[in-house]
A = this chain, B = another copy of it.
Amino acid sequence: MPKSTFYNLPANKKDRVIEAAIDEFAAFTYYKASITRIVEKADIAKGSFYQYFEDKKDLYNYIIALIAEEKLEYLGEVINNMDSYEFFQLLRELYSSGIKFARANPKLQAIGNKLYSNIDSPIFKEVIDSQKVKSIEFFQMLLKKGIERGEVDENINIELVSHMLTILNISLGELIYEDGQINMDDMKIIEGMLYVLENGLRSS
């Protein structure tokens, strides 16, 4: 967690640090990212950095949390009105929000895509897994509701399918992220995926 000194910073300087960090982590994986470049870009002293953050990891975790927060804002509306959506419609909205987020925040998406690069240290694994676990649990909950409502096939393996939905969700971000990966407009991607999932999961 950043130190109190960081939160007390004038907005301008604080933002410079955040922007520099985002640029750096979007361009390099954690280990290749350089504090030196970040402080240069943010135009703060090297020593100051260590008065704001414990260390490199501290900054990284802070930025990851920022991304999660930002992403939640995209999903927030959907999630808040969760119960008014039919299961597959909700899935469509969630995936769609994810793509919108990636389109609107390509750098943040780039950092997200690099997440798995940093599984080296157990500490990161924890951070990352907890993210994934949250997503999986969320889908499990949705699936259960969907089954209760008779929308989702009750014969599916809930635990596994929640994994699948999570992975496919994550893959969407990567899919659209860079050149050549796939050449389709966003709606086609979502509809194509939903077509399979709906056939695969809907109760008959």
Contact = CB atoms under 8 A, between A and B. Distances in A.
B167 A171 contact: yes
A188 B120 contact: no
Contact of A164 (B119, B168, B199): B168
Interface in A177-204: 180-182, 184, 188-189, 191-193, 195-201
26 contacts: A29-B31, A31-B31, A113-B119, A116-B117, A117-B117, A117-B119, A117-B120, A156-B192, A156-B195, A157-B191, A157-B195, A159-B182, A159-B184, A159-B192, A160-B188, A160-B192, A163-B175, A164-B168, A164-B196, A167-B167, A167-B171, A168-B168, A195-B200, A196-B201, A198-B200, A200-B201
B193 A164 contact: yes
A59 to B, nearest CB: 18
Contact of A197 (B31, B113, B189, B200): B200
Nearest to A191: B157
A132 to B, nearest CB: 9
A188 B157 contact: yes
Contacts of A200: 195-201
Nearest to A202: B199
A153 B200 CA distance: 12
Contacts of A119: 113-114, 117
